[in-house]
Structure 1
Amino acid sequence: MNIRRLAPWLAAVLLCASGHSLGQTGDVQLASVHAAVARLADGELQVAKHADRQVPIASITKLMTAMVVLDAQQDLNEWLTVQPRQQQLGKTAWTRMRNASQAKRRDLLHIALMSSENIACDVLARHFPGGLPAFVKAMNSKATELGMRDTVFFDPAGLSPSNVSTAADLVKMVRAAYQYDLIRDVTTSTYHQVTFRKPRYSLQYGNTNPLVRSSRWDVALSKTGYLSEAGRCLVMVSKINGEQTVLVLLDSLGTRTPVGDAGRLRRWLESGDPGSVAVAARNYERERSAAYRADAVSHNVTR
């Protein structure tokens, strides 16, 4: 009997027995501070690393934004006017889109998801019935509907560190987003050209997740995120061992670290190989984990 191949199964059994508040599941090595892996079909967690810790989620937010836009059933071919951001969140939202030009709702949704265009999210929210406040309220209502009890949204782009969730909650959000054909299609596209009007010009955008361009991965949904408070984040759905699997990786060092963790998780699920993590990424993970623990202690003391 190959014990290494039993490692993922044994970890899943331990996870079910003890809940998902674990520092590390099994012996898989991850640089991300928080992680969750689950079967898409039933949402059952196979890996959980601090999966119930509430943390900033940066642009992973945009999956909820997309669901709210699509649930409203507004005309995707309607031309919307690009305007400066309404919320001032203390974060830079650089854009190549020209102020006062127009783009179709469908294109703005595409580049918000695929290329993490922040201003596009603000434009989508401002053209929602009731405007930005109603849009954010709808985001939080959708989170409640999905059973995301530890999730709060403050803005539609994820620029606010007050947009918080847990890895376990994000599994629920990713599973819900997967049910939307358009979200699956645009988050796994590699490039997209947007044609604007008034004035007329075009811009080319690329996917922020390099794994969608890899022949070694079968990615069915993808979203990346980054804020200094959130670290590098990645959520995706990919076929592993012939089964669609949800991967949630939050707060890691450098753009390549979540990608490396995704590879380590796939190898571990397929063969039991725990992998290894670079020293710099491991040190970052330890420092961030210590900071989260200190914040939790401070919060409990001051309550």
Structure 2
Amino acid sequence: MLALVFGLNTNAYSSTNGNTSSSATHHVKKKFSTHAKTKAKTKKAAHRTVAVRKTHVSRHHRHSSRRIATRIPHVHRVALSPSSDTSVQRYAPSHPEAQIKHAALQSEVAYVQDMENSTVLYQKNSDEVRPIASISKLMTALIIAEAHQPLGDKLTITEDDVDRLRHSRSRLTVGTELSRADMLHLALMSSENRAAHALARNYPGGIPAFVRAMNDKARALGMRQTHFIEPTGLSSSNVSTPRDLVKLLVAVSKQPLIHRFTTDDHYEVAVGRRRQLFNNTNRLIRSPDWDIQISKTGFINEAGECLVMLTKIDRREVAIILLNSSGRYSRFGDAVRLRNLVERETNLAMM
């Protein structure tokens, strides 16, 4: 106790107690110094322990938050009930199955609509304007069908029909002669670019008039976010939105020839001296699980893998739009996942 008192003011103590030896003073100072250092070390260690605990808790909190955020993604969709409002709703965390389905889609843009009552069954980036690649050929086919040019007329593939933009391959060699009906068949079923270009080139007024007709028809159908600059879809400037493409599906569904040509599994034509077999680019056509009314695929680098269909699911006519999917077969897998989702929700609505 005296050491503590003396240590508070050593100079004052020395001046008032002159008979105290200098060794005593030195002993008090040394004892105080040792005590102060020990106390300071203890305090510093305590602060370090608290800091470590706080850091550990903070890291644990951050990791937990990250896990929760990964487990519960934000999903946008709308109710399946015909009487429901079609505004976008956000799923609560109590719908993990639908969230898993959303996360499993490989397509950047996805849209599903019930054609009977216009109810949106599913949507993901549905208002974005995107390149549509060979989906453009549906509009090409619609212009040809409504022009009522003779389907039996022979058209010839020329150098003008060769793809100079992307150098895509074609089995229709220069000089190949086919009927207008055969050209339309291959353009829709096998997405033959040279066939689509030949159809447009032989339209009254040629390619410029044909492209004008495509854009005029888009405006007439109310496709406000759609624009075409050529008939094949090889240009990334051919763009649209899922909602616009549903309007195109409705229009082409009224043409029996387009229904037939887009849903044929295969078709054989004479190319030169040989007959060649062409297959449908939509592998789902060959599946007995699907009842497809209209189908078209597409691909360029800027558009990714694309697929649009008018099909029946549980006796409901449904439009499915998938754009910019990654992977050769991912768009077909996404279509299956969306069909399963619609079927499950339909069953729940009937319970």
Calculate the TM-score normalised by the size of structure 2: 0.69
Match of 1:9 among 80, 88, 106: 80
Q: What is the CA deviation profile of residues 156-213 of structure 1, one whole-angstrom value per residue up to 9, with x for unaligned ones?
A: 01000000001111111111111110111111101101124xx543221000011000
Q: How many angstroms apart in 2 are the aligned matches of 1:12 and 1:63?
A: 32
Partner of 2:262: 187
What's the secondary structure of 1:255's corresponding residue? coil
Contact 2:80–2:120, Cα closer than 8 Å, also in 1: no
What is the CA-CA distance between 1:102 and the residue it aligns to?
A: 1.0
- RMSD of Structure 2 on Structure 1 (CA): 2.1
Contact 2:131–2:302, Cα closer than 8 Å, also in 1: yes
Partner of 1:93: 168
Q: What is the CA deviation profile of residues 196-255 of structure 1, one whole-angstrom value per residue up to 9, with x for unaligned ones?
A: 4xx543221000011000011111111000010000000011111211111000011112
Partner of 1:50: 125
Q: How many angstroms apart in 1 are the aligned matches of 2:285 and 2:83?
A: 27
Residues 158, 13 of structure 1: CA spacing in aligned structure 2 closer, same or farther, 3 A cutoff? same
Q: How many angstroms apart in 1 are the aligned matches of 2:81 and 2:292?
A: 26
Match of 2:303 among 227, 230, 241: 230
Q: Which amino acid aligns with 2:300?
A: L
Q: What is the CA deviation profile of residues 110-145 of structure 1, one whole-angstrom value per residue up to 9, with x for unaligned ones?
A: 010000000101100000000000001100011001
Residues 121, 12 of structure 1: CA spacing in aligned structure 2 closer, same or farther, 3 A cutoff? farther
Partner of 2:320: 247
Partner of 1:261: 334
Match of 1:124 among 199, 224, 228: 199
Q: What is the CA deviation profile of residues 37-90 of structure 1, one whole-angstrom value per residue up to 9, with x for unaligned ones?
A: 112335442222111100100000000000000110000010001112358662
Structure 2 gaps, min length 5: 1-77, 90-97, 347-351
Deviates more, 1:40-49 or 1:252-261: 40-49
Q: How do residues 130-169 of structure 1 correspond to structure 2 at under 5 angstroms?
A: 130-169=205-244
Tell me whether 1:207 sits opposite 2:280 in the alignment. Answer: yes
Percent identity of equivalent pairs? 41
Q: How many angstroms apart in 2 are the aligned matches of 1:137 and 1:12?
A: 39
What's the secondary structure of 2:80's corresponding residue? helix
Partner of 2:140: 65
Runs of 4+ in structure 1 displaced over 3 angstroms? 10-14, 41-44, 85-89
Q: How many angstroms apart in 1 are the aligned matches of 2:261 and 2:300?
A: 22
Contact 2:132–2:240, Cα closer than 8 Å, also in 1: yes
Q: How many angstroms apart in 1 are the aligned matches of 2:297 and 2:83?
A: 26
Partner of 1:177: 252
Q: Which amino acid aligns with 2:84?
A: V
Partner of 1:22: none
Q: How many angstroms apart in 2 are the aligned matches of 1:36 and 1:241?
A: 18
Q: Which amino acid aligns with 1:251?
A: N
What's the secondary structure of 2:226's corresponding residue? coil
Name which structure has the greater RCO, CA cutoff 8 Å, separation 6+.
1
What's the secondary structure of 1:9's corresponding residue? coil
Structure 1 gaps, min length 5: 1-6, 20-25, 274-303
Contact 1:115–1:207, Cα closer than 8 Å, also in 2: yes
Residues 47, 202 of structure 1: CA spacing in aligned structure 2 closer, same or farther, 3 A cutoff? same
Calculate the TM-score normalised by the size of structure 1: 0.80
Contact 1:220–1:237, Cα closer than 8 Å, also in 2: yes
More helix by share: 2
Partner of 1:114: 189
Residues 43, 89 of structure 1: CA spacing in aligned structure 2 closer, same or farther, 3 A cutoff? farther
What's the secondary structure of 2:152's corresponding residue? coil
Residues 74, 32 of structure 1: CA spacing in aligned structure 2 closer, same or farther, 3 A cutoff? same
Q: What is the CA deviation profile of residues 246-267 of structure 1, one whole-angstrom value per residue up to 9, with x for unaligned ones?
A: 1000011112111111111111
Q: How many angstroms apart in 1 are the aligned matches of 2:338 and 2:262?
A: 21
Q: How many angstroms apart in 1 are the aligned matches of 2:251 and 2:117?
A: 11
Q: How many angstroms apart in 1 are the aligned matches of 2:228 and 2:196?
A: 13
Contact 1:89–1:159, Cα closer than 8 Å, also in 2: no
Q: Which amino acid aligns with 1:69?
A: I
Residues 130, 194 of structure 1: CA spacing in aligned structure 2 closer, same or farther, 3 A cutoff? same
